[in-house]
């Protein structure tokens, strides 16, 4: 079949996916999914990161330490920019040495947990749980956690572990754009952060008139600059999620393509759900990346599969960055 016929059919399959629905307590809803998509939708739904963690040497997760479910080519494709990542490298080194980090996440409804059954099933919660296991702080001394300090944490999972944990606040607010967080940053970001994850690729409008006055990318850049200029000089990671509805099923029709300008200019590590999944799906790649298995969280949100993909891409980013840091 000629490529010009395949591509419209591929886009049409995107537009059918909004009929898929949300995670429930009994498992993912699987209407309109193929047998393969149903199989992997259930695997992602019950994904348990503790079953994938392997022994590592002295916290050096770059030596191994994780049994990935997503193939390496797709995980590497999902790391869309690294740059010198100086702040990110320093934060990882501090974590490796056992320092207690203060980590925040800001974004919209995807990072808040809509479409997957709540915040405890998001990519960021999985990442924090993984970090607490493989590079926990040496002790519980220091400033109180965000919850102990009564900081507003509407999206934070309340489960407590049995070992010391890094301080973490998920400050994502459903239905908001970067302009909101830029104006109300202190209400949603953990005080004195060391590491901040920013996700507005779906929430912000996809098109940007760069040449006009007051263009719509100014709030995002203002937000990035505000976070970078905080007294603690935190590391920032751009997380670019993807959903079928806002993009109209088009690979390029998201704010992510403009956000990459900020990644390269400010040397911010960036990860991308669409870069990890869509090219492989279009080319008939691994069946575990079948679209229905990843994008079954409704019109505006990926399902749990999308969060698993981004989580494993973030772990890969950490390993890649640490490997380059320790083995120049």
CA angle (72 as vertex; 281, 103 as ends), nearest 5: 100
* Residue 76 φ/ψ region, left for φ over 0, alpha for ψ in the -120 to 50 degree band, beta for the rest: alpha
Answer whether residue 89 shows pLDDT above 50: yes
Residue range 227-256: average pLDDT? 93
What is the structure's pLDDT at 299?
85
What is the structure's pLDDT at 323?
74
Q: Is residue 281 within 8 Å of 290, Cβ to Cβ?
A: yes
Q: Is residue 294 within 8 Å of 240, Cβ to Cβ?
A: no
Contacts for 310 with CB less than 8 Å, ≥ 6 apart: 78, 123, 239, 241, 271, 273, 276
Residue range 237-261: average pLDDT? 92
Sign of CA dihedral 39, 44, 48, 53: positive
Between 2-11, 19-28, 38-47, 168-177, the lowest mean confidence (pLDDT) is in 2-11
Contacts for 17 with CB less than 8 Å, ≥ 6 apart: 244, 249, 291, 292, 295, 296
pLDDT band at 6 (very low <50, low <70, confident <90, very high): very low
pLDDT band at 140 (very low <50, low <70, confident <90, very high): low
pLDDT band at 64 (very low <50, low <70, confident <90, very high): low
Contacts for 238 with CB less than 8 Å, ≥ 6 apart: 81, 198, 199, 259, 262, 263, 268, 269, 270, 271
Max mean pLDDT among 96-100, 141-145, 306-310 falls in 306-310
Answer whether residue 102 shows pLDDT above 50: yes
Q: Is residue 117 within 8 Å of 300, Cβ to Cβ?
A: no
Q: Is residue 296 within 8 Å of 18, Cβ to Cβ?
A: no
CA dihedral of 95, 99, 105, 110, whole degrees rounded to 10: 50
Answer whether residue 137 shows pLDDT above 90: yes
Rounded to the nearest 10 degrees, the angle between the axes of helix 304-326 and helix 35-45 is 60
CATH architecture of 3-207+214-326: 3-Layer(aba) Sandwich (3.40)
What is the structure's pLDDT at 59?
52
More confident residue, 163 or 176: 176
Give the per-residue SS3 of 216-244. CCHHHHHHHHHHHCCCCCCEEEEEECCCH
Q: Is residue 101 within 8 Å of 92, Cβ to Cβ?
A: no
More confident residue, 209 or 312: 312
Domain ranges of the chain: 3-207+214-326
What is the structure's pLDDT at 23?
56
What is the structure's pLDDT at 144?
47
Q: What percent of the chain has pLDDT over 90?
A: 67
Q: What is the pLDDT of residues 67-79, one digit of tens each?
A: 999 999 999 999 9
Q: Is residue 304 within 8 Å of 248, Cβ to Cβ?
A: no
**Mean predicted lDDT score pLDDT of the chain:** 84
């Amino acid at each position: 079949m000629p490529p010009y016929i395949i591509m419209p059919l591929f886009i049409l399959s995107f537009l059918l996916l909004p009929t898929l629905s949300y995670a429930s307590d009994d498992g993912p809803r699987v209407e309109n999914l193929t047998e393969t998509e149903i199989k992997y939708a259930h695997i992602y739904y019950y994904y348990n990161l503790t079953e994938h963690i392997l022994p590592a040497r002295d916290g050096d997760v770059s030596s191994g330490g994780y049994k990935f479910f997503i193939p390496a080519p797709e995980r590497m494709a999902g790391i869309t920019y690294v740059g010198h990542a100086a702040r990110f490298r320093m934060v990882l080194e501090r974590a490796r040495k056992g320092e207690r980090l203060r980590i925040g996440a800001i974004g919209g409804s995807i990072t808040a947990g809509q479409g997957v059954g709540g915040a405890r099933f998001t990519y960021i919660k999985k990442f924090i749980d993984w970090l607490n296991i493989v590079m926990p702080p040496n002790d519980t001394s220091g400033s109180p956690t965000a919850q102990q300090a009564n900081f507003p944490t509407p999206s934070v999972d309340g489960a407590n572990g049995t070992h010391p944990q890094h301080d973490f606040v998920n400050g994502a607010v459903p239905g908001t754009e970067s302009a909101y967080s830029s104006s109300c940053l202190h209400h949603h970001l953990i005080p004195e952060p060391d590491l901040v994850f920013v996700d507005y690729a779906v929430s912000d409008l996809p098109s940007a008139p760069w040449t006009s006055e007051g263009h719509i990318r100014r709030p995002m850049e203002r937000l990035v600059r505000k976070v970078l200029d905080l007294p603690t000089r935190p590391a920032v990671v751009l997380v670019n999620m993807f959903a079928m509805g806002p993009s109209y099923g088009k690979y390029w029709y998201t704010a992510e393509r403009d956000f990459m300008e900020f990644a390269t200019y400010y040397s911010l590590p960036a990860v991308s759900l669409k870069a990890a999944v869509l090219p492989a799906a279009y080319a008939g790649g691994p069946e575990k990346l079948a679209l229905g298995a990843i994008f079954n969280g409704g019109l505006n949100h990926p399902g749990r599969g999308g969060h698993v993909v981004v989580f494993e891409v973030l772990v890969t980013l950490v390993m890649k960055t640490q490997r380059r840091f320790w083995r120049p």
